[in-house]
């Protein structure tokens, strides 16, 4: 059974982004599978799902409230990261954010 975790780092301040709401969707159907929010360490992994079968997924990070509160602006209201689960293993999808940019990569 595959598992999924994520974390968000505010690269402007060099701190975890706590309290950011996020949604896990099946990409093809755009079906919401689960919702949550990052903890004080900017992490989330408690999807409350039995399994993540192979397929295409999307993690949507609603970053506007966090960035607007901290910096008074957010160029991107949300970030969608599309990724594929193709084998049984743990998947970690981190997000690095700032008011005018973001970056991601396949974590471990």
Delimit the domains of the chain by residue range.
3-104
Which pLDDT score is estimated for 92? 97
37 by DSSP, 3-state: which?
strand
DSSP 13: T
pTM as predicted: 0.94
| Residue 79 structure tokens | 């970030």
- What is the third-level CATH fold of 3-104? Immunoglobulin-like (2.60.40)
Which residue ranges are tagged as binding site for substrate? 7, 43, 105
Longest alpha-carbon distance in the chain: 41
In this predicted model, what pLDDT tens digit does every residue of 46-105 receive, in sequence order? 999 988 999 999 999 999 999 999 999 999 999 999 999 998 899 999 999 999 999 999
Which residue ranges are tagged as binding site? 7, 43, 105
């Amino acid at each position: 059974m595959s598992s999924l975790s994520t974390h968000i780092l505010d690269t402007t301040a060099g701190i975890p982004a706590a309290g950011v709401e996020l949604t896990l969707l099946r990409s093809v159907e755009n079906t919401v599978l689960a919702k949550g929010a990052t903890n004080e360490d900017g992490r989330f992994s408690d999807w409350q799902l039995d399994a993540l079968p192979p397929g295409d997924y999307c993690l949507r990070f609603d970053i506007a409230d966090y960035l607007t509160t901290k910096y008074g602006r957010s160029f991107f209201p949300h970030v969608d990261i599309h990724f594929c689960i193709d084998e049984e293993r743990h998947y970690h999808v981190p997000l690095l954010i700032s008011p005018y940019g973001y970056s991601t990569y396949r974590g471990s």
